[in-house]
Structure 1
Amino acid sequence: MTQFVLVAGAWLGAWAWDEVAGDLRAAGHDVHPLTLSGLAEKQGAPAGQQTHVQDVVDEVERLGLRDVVLVGHSYSGIPVGQAAERIGERLRRVVFVDSNVPADGESFLSGWPSEHVRQAIADNGGFWPPPAAGDYAGQGLTDEQIERIVDGGTPHPGATLTEPAVLKRPLGELPATYIKCLLDGDEPIPAVAELLGSERWELVEMDTGHWPMFSRPRELARILHESAAGT
């Protein structure tokens, strides 16, 4: 039995995985959706990037999990990738869902034009405000799905985006699946493309947008199940 720990991206909490978690449980897996500090029901808890890494590690250790598949979506690929290294032999596989990946000494905002994000954080008391409904257009989402995301989203702690990642070994050494959502761009970002050259990494494409846990939950659950079974 595989143990899945599911971590959604910026602005989202464990609730974002409800449909995916249901399908994975129906397939016989144990599933542990995780809300990171400072988000959703954990609003108000202080959080930096390393807080989020520790959130993931603590969840694995608190529950005594083994044979773990860590899943990180969007922003959460940064802390999940670091946590995957730190849980050692407990890890079965790490899955990055259309996500950023950590690079030692680099932050989430490193390497792309991020002045508008930094300014938004400065203008909103240290938090990155959630997008408006119109920002989700063209991502394969229904109006109802967009409404659900917008209603559930909470401001994201800005320090988690600006603090650097800490890795002790190359990320390409970890067994990994990268899920690329094609409506969010045809090609993986350069850092991911380089990692996909590792024999331990595989690429899976989904013909949907950046939030597949809402737009294609059943397909995403199937891919996660197959990723775990194939390791």
Structure 2
Amino acid sequence: MTEFVLVAGAWLGASAWDEVVPGLRAAGHGAHPVTLTGVGEKSGLPVARQTHVADIVDVVERLDLRDVVLVGHSYSGIPVGQAAERIGDRLARVVFVDASIPADGESFVSTWWQGPAVLEAEIEGNGGFWAPLTAADFEGQGLTEGQIERLVAGSTPHPGASLSDRAVLSRPLGSLPATYVKCLLDGPEPSDDVAELVAEEGWDLVTMKTGHWPMYSRPDELVRVLTGVAAQP
């Protein structure tokens, strides 16, 4: 039995996986959705250096999980990628779902596609938090009106401290066994850093014809992708 530890991206807590967890459990796997400190039901709790990495490692160690597949979506690929090397032989694989990936010494903010100053200003102007997206921001991502309503309702401001937290890696990310899931409505090609990694042995690339939030737009298909990962030797 594979133990899936599921971590959603910015603004979202464990409830983001509500339509994925039942399918994984029905397939005979463990499924453990995580709410990171400072979002969702943990809004208002302080976030310090490496807090989100510690959140993920704590779930694995506290529940004594083995044969673990860490799943990181969007922003959470950064703490998930760091947590993966910290859980040692408990790790089976990492799955990055349309995710940012960590680079030693870099943060989500420092690699922001518009330049770090843009995101820093947005966070500063919102009291140190990244404001959630509005319904209009989800257009073109393969989501129904009801799915967008769930996304908006489940989003809370995201602590800027986690977004500017610089990654700490002790070895090259390419040494981890990993699968990258590229959601094609969010761009037809993976970013350059991801493309380099999926060219390496031990990394796989999977595509989904949906938008950036497949746990909402295509939960059953995402379950099939994840159970396929669990079946890999």
- TM-score, normalised via structure 1 length: 0.98
Query: What is residue 200 of structure 1 aligned with on the other side?
Result: 202
Selected match of 2:165 from 163, 166, 170:
163
- State the distance in 2 between where 1:116 and 1:148 align: 28
Contact 1:72 1:80 in 2 (8 A): yes
TM-fit CA distance, 1:119: 1.3
Query: What is residue 60 of structure 2 aligned with on the other side?
Result: 60
Deviations 1:66-99 (A, max 9, x none): 0000000000000000000100100000000000
Q: What amino acid sits opposite 2:225 in the alignment? A: I
Deviations 1:175-195 (A, max 9, x none): 000000000000101111111
The 5 Å alignment of 1:9-158 reads 9-48=9-48, 50-111=50-111, 112-113=113-114, 114-158=116-160
- State the distance in 1 between where 2:48 and 2:205 align: 29
Query: What is residue 191 of structure 2 aligned with on the other side?
Result: 189
Question: Which runs of no fewer than 5 residues in structure 1 stay unpaired?
Answer: none
Q: What amino acid sits opposite 1:172 in the alignment? A: G
TM-fit CA distance, 1:47: 1.2
Query: What is residue 210 of structure 1 aligned with on the other side?
Result: 212
* Secondary structure of the corresponding residue to residue 19 of structure 1: coil
Deviations 1:111-159 (A, max 9, x none): 3324332112101111000011100010000111001100110000001
- State the distance in 2 between where 1:66 and 1:140 align: 34
Query: What is residue 8 of structure 2 aligned with on the other side?
Result: 8
- State the distance in 1 between where 2:89 and 2:125 align: 43
TM-fit CA distance, 1:49: 5.5
TM-fit CA distance, 1:109: 1.8
- State the distance in 2 between where 1:95 and 1:182 align: 16
Contact 1:82 1:167 in 2 (8 A): yes
- TM-score, normalised via structure 2 length: 0.97
- State the distance in 2 between where 1:36 and 1:109 align: 18
- State the distance in 2 between where 1:135 and 1:182 align: 17
- State the distance in 2 between where 1:70 and 1:51 align: 17
Q: Note the aligned Cα RMSD (angstroms).
A: 0.9
Question: Which runs of no fewer than 5 residues in structure 2 stay unpaired?
Answer: none
Contact 1:175 1:201 in 2 (8 A): yes
Which stretch of the first structure deviates more once superposed, 203-212 or 193-202? 193-202
Q: What amino acid sits opposite 1:125 in the alignment? A: G
- State the distance in 1 between where 2:71 and 2:49 align: 17
